[in-house]
Chains A and B, each alone.
Chain A
Amino acid sequence: MARAAPGSYSVTSLASLLGAVMTILQSHPICERAIVVETKEYSSDQFFCKVRAELQEGNQLQARIYYNQGHIDYAYQLFADMPLLRWDNKEEFHHLETYPHHQHDEQGNIRSSPLASDPIRDIQVVLQEVSTFLARKTKNTSG
Chain B
Amino acid sequence: MSAAISTVIEHLIKRRIFDTEEEAVRELLRDYVLRQITALRQQSDCFEQKYAMRFQQFSEYLHERSELLERSDFSMEQRQALGQAVMREEDDWLDWKVAQEMLESWLGLRQEATA
Contacts and interface: CB of A to CB of B under 8 A. Distances in A.
A29 interface: no
Nearest to A66: B98
Interface residue tally on A, bucketed by range: 20 to 34
B95 A64 contact: yes
A109 interface: yes
Contacts of A62: 91
A1 B49 CA distance: 26
On chain B, which size bracket covers the interface?
20 to 34
Interface of B: 36, 62-63, 66-67, 69-70, 74, 76, 79-84, 86-88, 90-91, 93-95, 97-98, 101-102, 105-106, 109
Interface of A: 40, 42-43, 46, 48, 62, 64, 66, 68, 73, 75, 77, 82-83, 86, 88, 90, 92-93, 95, 104-110
8 contacts: A73-B97, A77-B87, A83-B84, A83-B87, A90-B94, A93-B70, A106-B83, A107-B83
